[in-house]
Copies of this chain bind each other. A is one copy, B any other.
Amino acid sequence: MAITVAVDAMGGDLAPGVVIAGSLQAVQRLGVEVVLVGPEEQVRAELANHGPLAPLRLSVVDAPDVITMDEPPLAALRRKPRASVKVAAELVASGDAQAMFSAGHTGAAFLAAHQTLGVLSGVERPALAVTLPTRRGASILVDAGANVDCRPQHLRQFGVMGAAYARLALQAEHPTVGLLSIGEEAGKGSDLYRDAHALLSDSGINFIGNIEAGDLFTGKADVIVCDGFTGNVALKVGEGLVEFVEHMLREELGPTFPDDPRRRDAFKRFRQRVDYAERGGAPLLGVKSLAIIGHGRSSAYAIQSGIGMAARLADQKMVEQLAAALAPEEPGAA
């Protein structure tokens, strides 16, 4: 059975053009069924640029409103009940789609999914799980920005959910889980992190203690747990630094190897390996159905990858796996 993904056609800095191009690629190349959610006339006009669609498994659901990047998400969702991201979540809640994907306003996508889909038993705060490239392959950072003010038990839940997700995403049987902190010893870090360390030690996962931010890219832990403020800063530092490093290396290498196409290719491959915007999306762990959030700067290829990730995780029954991992925490819960 093909998986149907409800895609927020208006989500992303280059929406709807890039979102629609990426959705078409996902349908054609990955065999996913896509429902494009957005102002119908605008979406169909954009689709018309891509030729006849009759044989494709692609449909359009009208959602006249759009939430822009500068709107406070809670108020915006209340004011715009037919916003594209909200309608996409409702298609998942009603069973018309198995997953939602949005590369728009992260806070709005988070809230729309949280409110519409509900959370799994044992979860207080759904969290965003981003895949980072490392020397040894990849690691999962959770939370990457959904929850800016966290309490210790939230970080413990991020660890449990992150481990369950890593078993699918990294094919790691007993994924190691580290707590991001500013020193390796258990006593290092802020009050929040010291308390979270104690809870994670006692959570039944393969917790390896604190890891320093310098080890984010060494693959020291399969899963790295942190609050969403710190996680978002860490990701953005990474993105900014990659651009800066490229800029400087071009300056340094430039006089030596000017205009060498092989050098340009090397940089292109490099960027593909490190650029989060190229890597698709990040699942929201802890909601009752699949919700994938993409980077605002997503290219068409990244949109395709994000939709592909949604279909793959639906196929792998990620939500059921997370529910099972969380179950022992509340034995009486359904």
- Distance of A298 from chain B, by nearest CB (Å): 16
CB within 8 Å of B: which A215-252 residues: 215-218, 226, 228-230, 232-245, 247-249, 252
Docked Cα-Cα span, A181 to B191, in Å, equals 20
A187 in the interface (beta carbon within 8 A): yes
Could you say which of B191, B213, B237, B273 contacts A248, with CB atoms under 8 Å apart?
Answer: B273
Contacts of A260 in B (CB 8 A): 256
Q: Which of A34-42, A263-271, A322-330 contacts B (4 or more CB under 8 A)?
A: A263-271
Could you say which of B72, B148, B240, B242 contacts A182, with CB atoms under 8 Å apart?
Answer: B148
- Distance of A52 from chain B, by nearest CB (Å): 41
CB within 8 Å of B: which A176-224 residues: 180, 182, 185, 187, 189-191, 193, 212-218
A262 in the interface (beta carbon within 8 A): yes
A70 in the interface (beta carbon within 8 A): yes
Contacts of A189 in B (CB 8 A): 148, 229
Docked Cα-Cα span, A226 to B215, in Å, equals 21
Q: Do B149 and A191 touch (CB < 8 A)?
A: yes
Give the interface size class of chain A.
35 or more
Contacts of A243 in B (CB 8 A): 214, 217
- Distance of A128 from chain B, by nearest CB (Å): 12
Contacts of A257 in B (CB 8 A): 257, 262-263
- Distance of A70 from chain B, by nearest CB (Å): 6
Q: Do B234 and A248 touch (CB < 8 A)?
A: no
Per-residue CB contact flags for chain A residues 121-165 toward chain B (1 = under 8 Å, else 0) read 000000000000111000000000100110000000000000000
Docked Cα-Cα span, A135 to B249, in Å, equals 12
A111 in the interface (beta carbon within 8 A): no
A170 in the interface (beta carbon within 8 A): no
A253 in the interface (beta carbon within 8 A): yes
Could you say which of B213, B228, B245 contacts A245, with CB atoms under 8 Å apart?
Answer: B245
Contacts of A234 in B (CB 8 A): 213, 233-234, 237
User: Counting chain B CB atoms within 10 Å of each CB, which of A145, A182, A256, A262 scores highest?
Assistant: A182
Minimum CB distance partner of A145 in chain B: B182
Q: Do A190 and B270 touch (CB < 8 A)?
A: no
Docked Cα-Cα span, A184 to B123, in Å, equals 29
A274 in the interface (beta carbon within 8 A): yes
Docked Cα-Cα span, A252 to B245, in Å, equals 15
Contacts of A182 in B (CB 8 A): 145, 148, 228-229, 232-233, 236
User: Counting chain B CB atoms within 10 Å of each CB, which of A190, A235, A263, A267 scores highest?
Assistant: A190
**With A190-B229, A229-B190, A238-B237 in contact, do A256 and B247 touch (Cβ < 8 Å)?**
no
Q: A213-B235, A214-B237 are in contact. List 11 more A-B contacts (CB 8 A).
A: A70-B185, A149-B190, A213-B233, A213-B234, A214-B239, A215-B240, A229-B230, A245-B274, A248-B274, A249-B266, A252-B267
